[in-house]
Amino acid sequence: MNLVDKQLVKNKMGMRLIRNKLIKQLFLMATLFAIIILGTLLYRIFTQGIGYLDWEFFLSFASRFPEEAGIKAAIIGSLWLMAITAPISLILGVGTAIFLEEYASKNKWTRFIQMNISNLAGVPSIVFGLLGLTVFVRLLEMGRSIIAGGLTMSLLILPIIVVASQEAIRSVPNDQYEASFAMGATKWQTIRRVVLPAAIPGILTGGILALSRAIGETAPLLMIGALTFIAYLPENIWSGFTVMPIQIFNWTSRPQEEFHYVAAAGIIVLLVMLLIMNSIAVFIRNKFSKRY
Amino acid sequence: MLTVERNRPMASSISPIKDNSIYTVRNFNLWYGADHALNDICMDIPTNKVTAIIGPSGCGKSTYIKALNRMVELVPSVKMTGSIDYNGQNIFNPKFKVEELRTSVGMVFQKPNPFPKSIYENVVYGPKIHGIKKKQILDEVVEKSLKGAALWDEVKDRLHENAFGLSGGQQQRLCIARCLAIEPDVILMDEPTSALDPISTLKVEELVQSLKKEYSIVIVTHNMQQAARISDNTAFFLNGEVIEYNKTDQIFSNPTDKRTEDYITGRFG
């Protein structure tokens, strides 16, 4: 006796193939939905903003008049912020990752720390703003300065950089460690000459993606009290500052309609900046990543 | 009485020859967690000879040679008792620096593991970490090591190309050259030909023959013909114990232990 009823199999075949095709369409639609929304958004922003995008826009400070408003202070502010955030978060993040992967013994404490780092990556950015306000602005009396903003942003992206760097370090094959240790290399020599060169593409990719998140963040900086309207450039790390997303947020909340177009122009600048940073990340990943 | 003697000979042969030993291993035990991987190993390794270690998978051969340069310590949860003396010094003595040990005991692994650098950089990795910086010396080291590993003629025109462009057999000889570059006294080889094709295997085997003039070589192998071809002495491992350790021709022509005989005649393993 046959356990498999051939007739039944034949009858069901048609239905199975139809379902197979339907599912494919379903997933295609999910993808298209995202693409269409993105397309609409980009179209709207470009049609609104492109008219206001000229050299003047880059060279002017904020203004009460939409025609004279520019993004100079915000761009410079964002660059200052990155100049603080990038080195601090990369040094601390990569250092933490190296310690956790290479030195820390694997026990319940390191597992506990590991879990918390992963959780920190998911904490809402406003909470980091609150922390920055309490610790940097008030407790350490840094005021509403670039340094306070930069440190807050460093904390925000630190967990992301730690996790990305750990992944990169973990992907270095064991036989590479063995080869180095077997020749009498110390742990540090092995890390510096074998592990880091192999992990650097992954670390940089993660770092740049984290920084592009920082450059687009508004909430924590509003929380620590970054300015929304300034007509001067920051002089040093203790100066008040504004950044691109805050400037854009400020413009969109103005009643005059023209300012919405100015905001659109600002968004284009921000998007282009993000696109460039992400492209660099992709470039580094493809160009320098080692294949074993 | 006699049959008992014959079936269970003493782990007698600590050393098959009365000769200079570079390693003296006494009552060495090793556990991975609760797993007793090496059981009371007593085995000397003679200077400037090829010592082969054979045995079925999981018998502790690799663990044993990784203990000889303390690479086994990279495995967490490893526990050891007994002693391994290298040139008369206990390598587990806290004063004994593991980096120093590994500088005079080189190792070649089962799978070729060159660094993703140029051929040149691969060979000078060892000298560089030991502080040799002079370009002229490094150049000489590269030529000498690659010649020593019978690879020089094949790669001398592309020293600065990535080592991953070499074939598997060439990569393995590069790893041997990299190992020779630190001028060790002992070379440990952990199944160095198991990932290679027959021709590359032959080249590595010829290389081992020529290297034994200057180096003491310990080679773990799955391949009994290989052990018979290239080694002076052979140790048969089974379940973490040395069953028989003797001159190679003795082991293969006239084994004293039934289990050795069964293994080399292919009855198991």
CA-based nearest distance B131→chain A, Å: 11
Give CA–CA dist B119/B176, Å, rounded.
12
Contacts 24+ apart (CB under 8 A), B250-255: B250/B16, B252/B224, B252/B228
In order of their start, the domains of chain B are 2-264 (3.40.50.300)
Share of chain B above pLDDT 70, in %: 93
Selected residue of A107, A174, A183 to mutate for chain B interface (largest B Cβ count, 10 A): A183
Query: Would you say residue A194 has pLDDT above 90?
Result: yes
Query: Would you say residue B12 has pLDDT above 60?
Result: no
Q: Among A176, A184, A198, select the one facing B99 at the smallest CB separation.
A: A184
Angle between helices A196-216 and A146-170 (to 10 degrees): 140
What band does B269 get if pLDDT is binned at 50, 70 and 90? Answer: low
Please report which residue ranges of chain B form alpha helices under DSSP H.
2-7, 61-68, 98-104, 119-129, 135-148, 152-155, 168-180, 198-211, 224-230, 248-253, 258-264
CB contact under 8 A, A178 and B115: no
Residues of chain A with C-beta less than 8 angstroms from the C-beta of B179: 182-183
Nearest chain B alpha carbon to A195: B115
Q: pLDDT value at position A216?
A: 86
Query: Would you say residue A8 has pLDDT above 60?
Result: yes
Q: Among B74, B116, B129, select the one facing A183 at the smallest CB separation.
A: B129
CB contact under 8 A, B125 and A193: yes
Q: A15-30: per-residue pLDDT in tens? A: 999 999 999 999 999 9
The winner for highest mean pLDDT among A68-77, A235-244, B171-180 is B171-180
Average pLDDT, chain B: 87
Q: Among A106, A181, A193, select the one facing B74 at the smallest CB separation.
A: A181
Q: B89-142: per-residue pLDDT in tens? A: 899 888 888 999 999 999 999 999 999 999 999 999 999 999 999 999 999 999
CB contact under 8 A, A184 and B107: no
Q: Residue A292 contacts by C-beta under 8 Å, 6 or more apart in sequence?
A: A173, A176, B116
What band does B68 get if pLDDT is binned at 50, 70 and 90? Answer: very high
Q: Among A181, A183, A290, select the one facing B116 at the smallest CB separation.
A: A290
What band does B1 get if pLDDT is binned at 50, 70 and 90? Answer: very low
What band does A75 get if pLDDT is binned at 50, 70 and 90? Answer: confident
What band does B5 get if pLDDT is binned at 50, 70 and 90? Answer: very low
Give CA–CA dist A254/A235, Å, rounded.
28
Q: Number of C-alpha atoms within 13 angstroms, CB side, residue A252?
A: 14
Return the closest-CA partner of residue A215 out of A163, A164, A265, A277.
A277
Q: Among A106, A175, A180, select the one facing B111 at the smallest CB separation.
A: A175
Query: Would you say residue B3 has pLDDT above 60?
Result: no
Q: A205-240: per-residue pLDDT in tens? A: 899 889 988 888 888 888 887 777 777 777 777 877
Give CA–CA dist B132/B125, Å, rounded.
10
Return the closest-CA partner of residue A189 out of B231, B128, B81, B208.
B128
CA-based nearest distance B33→chain A, Å: 15
Residues of chain A with C-beta less than 8 angstroms from the C-beta of B102: 181-184
Q: pLDDT value at position A48?
A: 85
Q: B203-228: per-residue pLDDT in tens? A: 889 989 888 888 999 999 988 889 99
Return the closest-CA partner of residue B257 out of B235, B225, B231, B228.
B235
User: Higher confidence at residue A284 or residue A90?
Assistant: A90
Give CA–CA dist B21/B88, Å, rounded.
9
Query: Would you say residue B179 has pLDDT above 90?
Result: yes
CA-based nearest distance A204→chain B, Å: 18
What band does B6 get if pLDDT is binned at 50, 70 and 90? Answer: very low
Q: pLDDT value at position A100?
A: 92
What band does A290 get if pLDDT is binned at 50, 70 and 90? Answer: low
Q: pLDDT value at position B15?
A: 63
CA-based nearest distance B70→chain A, Å: 9
The winner for highest mean pLDDT among A32-41, A143-152, B143-152 is A32-41
Q: pLDDT value at position B8?
A: 38
